[in-house]
């Protein structure tokens, strides 16, 4: 979905609001989850809760340390 093919029609709606941009930053900001194309190099092993928060890492870390309890609560 994330710009793999050109849009040919239709709309992508999130809670009734059209999502205009499929740039990674915009999709994540809109609250849409994203699985990287190459999960092995970008996201570690499948099933790792860290995969879910990779693009929101700043919200789950302080002083360079990840708050694993917050990650587990989020996932």
pLDDT tens per residue across span 38-75:
655 544 445 566 667 777 888 888 888 888 888 888 87
DSSP strand E in 1-75: where?
13-14, 17-18, 61-62, 65-66
Candidates 37, 39, 38, 75; CA nearest to 56 is: 75
Each domain of the chain, given as residue ranges in start order, spans: 1-33, 35-75
The secondary element (H helix, E strand) that includes residue 70 is helix 68-74
Query: What does the pLDDT read at residue 44?
Result: 47
Q: Which of 10-14, 20-24, 36-40, 49-53 has the lowest mean pLDDT?
A: 36-40
């Amino acid at each position: 979905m994330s710009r793999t093919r050109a849009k040919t029609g239709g709309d992508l709606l999130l809670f009734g609001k059209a999502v205009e941009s499929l740039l990674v930053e915009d999709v994540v900001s809109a609250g849409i989850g994203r699985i990287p194309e190459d999960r092995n190099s970008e996201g570690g092993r499948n099933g790792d809760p860290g995969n879910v928060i990779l693009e929101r890492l700043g919200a789950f870390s302080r002083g360079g340390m990840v708050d694993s309890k917050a990650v587990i609560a989020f996932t």
